[in-house]
Amino acid sequence: MRLDEYVDIEQNKRAKRRRLAKNRSYDIVEYLDDFQDRFESTVQGDSLYGGVSPSIFVGTSNYPHVSTGVLSPVGHNDDVSQFITSDTWYNEDISISDVFERRASLLNSTTTRPVTNVAETWDGDGFLGTQREIAIADHPVTVEIGLVNRPNIDFDVNPADVSTPVGPRARAESATLSENPHVPRAVEKTISDDDWNAEGAITYLYRRDFDIYDINTILSAGALGRTDQRRLVPTRWSITAVDDVIGRYLRGRIRTNQDINSVEIHRESFLGNAFWVILAPGEWEYELVEMKAPGSIWNPKPEAGTAITTDWEGREGRTKYVSETAGAYHAARLGVLEHLAQRGRRAKALILRHISADYWAPVGVWQVRETVRDTFDDTPAISETMHEAIDGVCEHLPISSARLHRASTIAAGRQATFDTFT
């Protein structure tokens, strides 16, 4: 099978997305105006808002004194599930505008709290106690929130908001449950065990088929870890932490597995991001190479040309912080490791991510995780050698093979590393 036969570039669809993107700002402004109308019709008196809350949000600003909030879809109590970030969004094939509309519908009722000593304050702090119950419940719960002021509907999103952009915010003075939520037994076990560290609890929930999105919400609320070490974890950090912990667990599982049999090329695209995953026989080694189109949100200067960032790890993982590709590194790695664990095999993995100008606003690393997961749903292209696979994929990338070899650790070392398979 030739590579150009395997790949559908979908030029017409890309052109259509570029035309739609020109109107993006107007759509969002109109939706925020609609939110204001729905809020005014929902609020009771001057300050009390009642609604169904599917999740929480913990910010990073002013850490360790952070803004922590309860998320509620205003005027959408009958269909709250669509507002919860999950793999369902990918399966629905939603657009960037869809993501922003859903985020713009979520009122973030916030207060400021120190991140430490969370377990000691759950009983005495009604807001944090309610927030924890929302996070650990197995379904959205009804809450009543006492607001200090009207929502701020300035929907300001920038490249720093790579994990979970949020919508309108309002200061809250109280939050009270209107029902008794049901908490899964496995979650109750992790909370009641005073000596279970957070990493072990995360792995325990994952092994019992808890959704990764639920796990990072529970972690964010400070409900995992040894009691004296439990703390609020900013949402962006909790997402990356859970991806990393589960990734390291899976890496240990595949370490002694047999190699895959050939060099495989997997591809998928979503929201202006194209992912090429090249797997080759050998011990675990992983690299994410990101190519950012000039004029995109990640590389705003058109004259700069395509920007490249990379991060790499060997058999034993990394010893330093992922500085170049941030949360996308761990989200993409998780998708590959899950696939290899399910197959009972091991491999080297090179992921090439092309971020086009169609990706006009950040929606969160969930789209990286889900797109990489989905690359493995179809039959891969098979290459005779790693050299052939890399050069073949480069024909569809905005950079030359020579430039990729200079930037990528795996591509640069392929002849020495893959002699056995070439």
* pTM metric for this prediction: 0.88
Nearest-CA neighbor of 113 among 222, 202, 201, 194? Answer: 222
Query: For 279-331, what is each residue's pLDDT tens digit?
Result: 999 999 999 999 999 977 788 888 889 999 999 999 999 888 898 998 999 99
Q: Which of 8-17, 148-157, 198-207, 208-217 has the lowest mean pLDDT?
A: 8-17
Predicted confidence at residue 360, as pLDDT, reads 84
Give the whole-angstrom CA distance, residue 287 versus residue 267.
16
Query: For 221-259, what is each residue's pLDDT tens digit?
Result: 999 999 889 999 999 999 999 999 999 999 999 999 999
Q: Name the strand (E) or helix (H) holding 407.
A: helix 401-407
At which residue do the structure tokens 């900013």 appear? 234
Partners of 307 in the beta sheet?
292
Nearest-CA neighbor of 98 among 107, 114, 85, 109? Answer: 85
User: CB neighbours of 22 closer than 8 A, spacing ≥ 6?
Assistant: none
Contact at 8 Å (CB) between 335 and 377?
no
Partners of 250 in the beta sheet?
none
Residue 160 has pLDDT above 60, yes or no: no
Alpha helices in 22-180 (DSSP H): 24-42, 87-91, 96-104, 118-121, 126-136
Predicted confidence at residue 281, as pLDDT, reads 97
Query: For 32-75, what is each residue's pLDDT tens digit?
Result: 566 666 666 666 665 666 788 899 999 999 999 999 999 988 77
Could you write out the DSSP letters of every residue in 313-348? EBTTB-SS---SSHHHHHHHHHHHHHHHHHHTEE-E
Angle at alpha carbon of residue 8, lines to 6 and 9, rounded to 5°: 135
